Structures are given as C-alpha cells and as structure tokens.
Amino acid sequence: MKNILWGIVLVVAGALLGCRAAGLIDSDVIFFDGWWTLFIIVPCAICAITEKGHRVGNLIGLIVGVLLLLSCQDLISFEIFWKLLIPGIIVIIGLSLIFKTIFNQKISADIKKLSSNIDDAEISAVFSGQNIDMKGEKFNGKKVSAVFGGLKLDLREAIIKEDAVIDASAVFGGIDILVPSDINVKIKSSAVFGGVKNNSKASEADEKKPTLYINGSAMFGGIEIK
C-alpha cells in the first residue's frame, strides 16, 4: 500500500514537471505559494495511512504542514497558525488515547490478567545498549525499557508455551523484539512522536498457539517486533 501511494505521488509529480517542460502548464501551477509544505504534508499523510504505530506523530506533522500551507496562501495568518498549533497537537494526542482505550479494551483486560506472571527482573538500557538472547529459556513475560539507548530481546528460540506479556517502554530510544513464527502477536500501544510496529511473521488468528501481548509505550522512540 505504501509503495503504491508513493508511486502515485511520483507519477503525478513527473507528469506535472513534464507538462511544465512542454509548456502545457505554467510554473505557478507547480511552484505555488507554499509548495514546499508538500514535503511535509505528503509523507506525513502517506505514513498516517500506512503505518499504524506512528499515526499520532504523522497526524501532528500533517496538521503542521496544512496550517503552514494555509498561512502561505494567506488563508490564515501566521499568528493564528501559532495559536492553533499547540491546541491542535493536544487534541490529536487526546483523541488517540481515547480511541486506543476504546478499541483495546479486550487486549487491556488480557494484559491485566497476565501481568502477574511477568518476571520481576526488568531489562533496561539507559544511555547504553543491551542484547538479550533467551535461547532455551522458559518465557513467562518481561518488562523492558530503553532510555536514550537501544535494547534487543531475542525470543526466537525461547520456550513460550503459554500466553505472556511484554511491557515495553522506549523514551528517546529503541527496542527490537524478535519473536518466533509459531505464536500469535497482539499489540496495545501508546506513542507520542514515536511508534510501535509489528513486522513479525507471527500469526494472529490461531487460537491453539500461545499469544504474546506487547504492551508498548514510545515517546520520541520506537518499538519494533520482528
């Protein structure tokens, strides 16, 4: 989907430049006042549509781009732009938290039920890097965090026989969670200028297989399941 949207954008851009070179359209059609804001609006719009884990940040970027475009077109003043910017960001963050809470009620209940099984030993990377391989170890759940650092948790050869929860928090850092392909993966996430993304090949619908719940929180950071 993402490649298709970018393909459409490039085709349209190429066609417009070609028409301009052929003298079929004026330069003002392409290089209108505030045309540069499209470099903010288009990427943020495409990512907001295609990347679930990064929607809040991309929506904020989209609003900033649109308000800048309206300002350049003299439809709103830059003074109003600055007045609307912060309230707009706050509203988007608030709405995202509301909708995520509503749609994740079932997952939240499951996570709460399984949280008591989480291993008490938290894994953290603070201004550093951690590479944890749980090969051959029984996995019942874990708390992991990365603050201005990077953490990699490898569960591909861990023993996962029952449902388990990973509480993951990334603040100005990144967390990679490598999971086996013979489990289900379900995600509950909250992100501010960050994202939680599932790129794993794990299944999502086989009730016979154990489910790994990722309770992810990212602020200016990212959590990726591979």
Taking only the tens place, the pLDDT of each residue in 43-87 is 888 887 776 556 667 777 888 888 888 888 888 888 887 888 788
pLDDT tens track for 181-194:
888 888 887 777 77
Tell me how long the chain is.
Answer: 226
Which ranges of the chain would DSSP assign to H, the alpha helix? 2-21, 27-30, 38-50, 55-72, 78-103, 105-114
* 180 touches 202 (CB < 8 A): yes
Q: What is the pLDDT of residue 17?
A: 84
pLDDT recorded at residue 54: 60
Amino acid identity at 176: D
Name the residue with higher pLDDT: 213 or 108: 213
Return the domain boundaries, the chain. Answer: 32-103, 105-225
CA distance 193 to 188: 16
Strands, sheet with 129-133, edge to edge from the N-terminal-most edge strand: 129-133, 150-154, 174-178, 222-225, 195-198
Give pTM, 2 decimals.
0.57
- State the Cα–Cα distance between residues 69 and 81, nearest whole angstrom: 10
pLDDT in tens, 203-215: 555 667 888 888 8
Task: Inform me whether the pLDDT recorded for 3 exceeds 90.
Answer: no
The band of 100, judged by pLDDT with boundaries at 50, 70 and 90, is low
pLDDT of residue 150: 92
The average pLDDT across 14-20 equals: 85
Q: Which two tokens stand for residue 161?
A: 């026989």
Q: Cβ atoms within 10 A of the Cβ of 75, count?
A: 11
Return the pLDDT at 206: 62
pLDDT for residue 175: 92
Tokens 């308000």 belong to 67
Q: How far apart are CA 223 and CA 146, in angstroms?
A: 10
Could you give the count of Cα atoms lying within 13 Å of 202 in the half-sphere of its Cβ?
A: 26
Tens digits of per-residue pLDDT, 165-180?
888 999 999 999 999 8
pLDDT value at position 105?
A: 65
25 or 120, which is more confident? 25
- Torsion sign over Cα 203, 207, 212, 214: positive
Q: Which percentage of the chain shows pLDDT scores above 90?
A: 8
Residue 173 vs residues 144, 192, 216, 217: alpha-carbon distances, Å:
12, 13, 13, 11
